[in-house]
Structure 1
Amino acid sequence: MENKYSRILVGMDGSAESLKAFDEAVRIAKRNDAELILANVIEQRSFLAVNTYDTLAEERHEKGTKILLKQFAEEAKVAGVAKVRTVLEYGSPKIMMATKIPKEEKIDLIVVGATGISYIERVIVGSVASYIVTHAACNTLIVRK
């Protein structure tokens, strides 16, 4: 017997892995008549050095992220998902995607790509997907290549 999900969270960062996760989340949302919540978390620490030289970098990134989320929300609706929302947060992607957003949104299932970073980055800082698997406040599905 398959699980029944009512609120599905998918992490969207524009990587090839997140696109695969999106496709899988859409499929699951349609099968369950579930609400699909597309989320992106902007880590402000990555803008500290850049903001010294370019104060508009963070604003441009936020605007681009909102456009990305809106486009995928429209794509999900066209694919047949009736209930789609977007969430844009600031903070640690690991913590926000594993605990804060799932608790606030009462998420049943988190769908994320296996990794959007290189092997070296994964070894040094660890992937968001790995963190979500070990710390998630609900079920997690990691979509691999």
Structure 2
Amino acid sequence: MKFSRILVGVDDSQDALLAFKYAVDQAKQDQAELIIVSILENEEMNVYEALSKDYVHGERAELEQHVSSYQRQAREAGVEMVRTIVSEGEPGEVIVKDIIPHVEPDLLVVGSEAKKGLAQHFGSQAAYMAKYAPISVLVIR
């Protein structure tokens, strides 16, 4: 099967880095568009940080800059069409309910474990996405 649009979730965990490498290789092979997504998890912030627009804006700007480095790596690896999305919220829900319907990818590639957050302790974001995404999901270990 050849994919035309691949969505990959990144969070700097070891599994997500492997997912990114896989997605880059697949996008290159299929000459597909690659969309790199990262989610700023609000639950990671304390109440004072969450109330501070400057803090949230700073965190988001830092994440956007970091995701741009993934975009650069993908282009350097030979993927011609690459774009990025940064959003906020619960990663699994945001990707399944907001990003997938908007982007309409053929494939979602994610790592099996998150770097941080409650997902490590109370269930996997990858399992949620695999169960509820309306597209094929490849979970990388």
Assess same fold via TM > 0.5.
yes
Deviations 1:64-84 (A, max 9, x none): 211111001010000000000
Query: Which structure 1 residue ranges, 5 or more long, are not aligned?
Result: none
- Quick one: structure 1 residues 53 and 4, their matched pair in 2 at CA, closer, same or farther if it must change by over 3 Å? closer
Residue number in structure 2 paired with 1:104: 102
In structure 2, list runs of 5 or more residues that go unmatched.
none
Q: Is the 8 A contact 1:14 1:68 kept in 2?
A: no
Q: 1:140 aligns with which of 122, 137, 140?
A: 137
Larger mean CA deviation between 40-49 and 59-68 belongs to 40-49
| Alpha-carbon contact 2:39-2:88 (below 8 Å) kept | yes
More divergent stretch after superposition (99-108 vs 52-61): 52-61
Q: Which residue identity is paired with 1:58?
A: V
Q: How does 1:1-145 map to 2 (within 5 A)?
A: 3-51=1-49, 56-117=54-115, 122-124=120-122, 126-144=123-141
Query: Given the two structures, how large is their TM-score scaled by the length of structure 1?
Result: 0.86
| Counterpart Cα distance in 1 of 2:50 and 2:107 | 39
RMSD over aligned CA atoms reads 2.1
Q: Distance in 1 between matches of 2:137 and 2:86?
A: 20
Structure 1 residues 36 and 60: alpha-carbon distance in aligned structure 2, compared to 1, 3 A threshold: same
Matched length: 140
Q: Which runs of 4+ in 1 moved over 6 A?
A: none
- TM-score computed with the length of structure 2 as normaliser: 0.89
Does the Cα contact within 8 Å between 2:33 and 2:82 map onto a contact in 1?
yes
